[in-house]
Homo-oligomer: A and B are copies of this chain.
Amino acid sequence: MDAQLADTSRSGTGRRLTRPVSVGVVGATGNVGTMMLRVLAERGVPIRELRAFASSRSAGRTVASGSHEAVVEDLATADPTGLDVALFSAGAERAREHAARFVDAGVTVIDNSSAFRMDPGVPLAVPEVNPGALAGSPRLVANPNCSTIQLVVALKPILDAAGLEHLHVTTFQAVSGTGQAAMVELQEQAHGVLESTDVEPEVYPHPIAFNVLPHCDTFDAHGVTGEERKVQRETRRILDLPDLPVGVTCVRVPVFNAHSEAVHLRTSRPLAASEARDLLRAAPGIRVLDDPAADAYPTPLQAAGSDDVWIGRIRADDADPNGLAMFVVADNLRKGAATNAVQVLEALLD
């Protein structure tokens, strides 16, 4: 697997930039912010100046992207003037509070939160899927939800070849999407179970170690979670299929990193599993691992650390005449967040 992963730092779309840029990372000490710093270096984004922002609690710490270091500034009071672009991963509330200020200071903002994703004036972009959304040099771009990104990367080649009529998705979401505290909670709870000592849940309402929770994000009045709505609405928007029937169940699983998705879909025209496999194999940002006879299919342990969307279990779903099923796995901190944001940066500044 190491050899397979060695070349993934340039996977997907995005051209190598030559003009050095001034880059800010907002939420630089979180799971996604840390990964943004790493992916900027991995993809060889030429940095003229690196700046990092976070809450006052983290201000003063030093972070790095490759050989570039930055002392974390307090987001609340920092002046972003002089930056070309800022990658935001500080949550929806902070994005609503500060993104406009950055844009007004002449900074292009790529925001990883849900704040602007359904704003018709803000492009919601996955470069492999809807690069046209980035036309016209937008000053504010929304990065989709992690579960959405890997899903639309997998769906796009199928949609283009055979149309898309119906979609059911069930997710298996890693705790890294919740944050560092959730990763510590999983580790400590697992240790507690193995040592027969109780470790009370704090991040999640129930134990996550050796358990699954059908609960990602908050519930609305209809008993649907925010995560389920995001996957439904963002998928429709990115694929430009506003009426696509999409049913979603989102489940948290005791996996440290990388989300998995069981996808059942119906195409408009017949598409054999073998044809789908060939299409996906040829598509950017996708790695097909689909040889059941050799026990080859994607798992989160395998996809973690990779920038690709891994797809396997591609087969006919005989519940429908044009039914197709597949299993889609990606590193939610990378392609599901940081890598996609950096690809957007590359596309915008190219």
Which residue in B224, B298, B313 is a CB contact (below 8 Å) of A249? B313
By a CB distance below 8 angstroms, the chain B residues around A247 are 168, 264, 317-320, 323, 325
Copies in the complex: 2
A211 at the interface (CB under 8 A from B): yes
> Which of A45-53, A78-86, A212-220 makes up part of the contact surface?
A212-220
By a CB distance below 8 angstroms, the chain B residues around A186 are 210
The answer on a CB contact under 8 Å between A212 and B253 is: yes
The answer on a CB contact under 8 Å between B323 and A172 is: no
Q: How far is the CA of A166 from the CA of B327 in the complex (A)?
A: 21
What residue in chain B is nearest A211 (Cβ atoms)? Answer: B301
Which residue in B206, B260, B292, B298 is a CB contact (below 8 Å) of A219? B292
Q: How far is the CA of A245 from the CA of B316 in the complex (A)?
A: 13
By a CB distance below 8 angstroms, the chain B residues around A302 are 206
The answer on a CB contact under 8 Å between B327 and A223 is: no
The answer on a CB contact under 8 Å between A214 and B246 is: no
The answer on a CB contact under 8 Å between A292 and B212 is: no
A222-B319 contact in complex given A187-B194, A260-B212, A300-B212, C-beta closer than 8 Å? no
A27 at the interface (CB under 8 A from B): no
The answer on a CB contact under 8 Å between A254 and B251 is: no
A3 at the interface (CB under 8 A from B): no
The answer on a CB contact under 8 Å between B210 and A301 is: yes
The answer on a CB contact under 8 Å between B170 and A215 is: no
A100 at the interface (CB under 8 A from B): no
A160 at the interface (CB under 8 A from B): no
What residue in chain B is nearest A167 (Cβ atoms)? Answer: B319
A182 at the interface (CB under 8 A from B): no
Q: How far is the CA of A315 from the CA of B247 in the complex (A)?
A: 11
Counting chain B CB atoms within 10 Å of each CB, which of A187, A249, A290 scores highest? Answer: A249
A121 at the interface (CB under 8 A from B): no
- Chain A residues 313-333 with CB under 8 Å of chain B are 313-320, 323, 325, 327
The answer on a CB contact under 8 Å between B300 and A211 is: yes
Question: Considering only CB atoms and an 8 Å cut-off, how many residues of chain A contact the other chain?
Answer: 58
A312 at the interface (CB under 8 A from B): yes
The answer on a CB contact under 8 Å between B223 and A313 is: yes
Counting chain B CB atoms within 10 Å of each CB, which of A262, A293, A302, A312 scores highest? Answer: A262
What residue in chain B is nearest A328 (Cβ atoms)? Answer: B214
What residue in chain B is nearest A225 (Cβ atoms)? Answer: B292
A191 at the interface (CB under 8 A from B): yes
19 A–B contacts, CB within 8 A, in A order: A168-B168, A194-B194, A210-B254, A211-B255, A211-B300, A214-B260, A214-B313, A215-B295, A215-B297, A222-B315, A222-B316, A223-B315, A224-B315, A245-B319, A245-B320, A249-B264, A249-B327, A254-B254, A254-B255
| Residues of A that sit less than 8 Å from B by CB | 166-168, 170, 172, 186-187, 190-191, 194, 205-207, 210-215, 219, 222-224, 245-247, 249, 251, 253-256, 260, 262, 264, 273, 290, 292-293, 295, 297-302, 312-320, 323, 325, 327
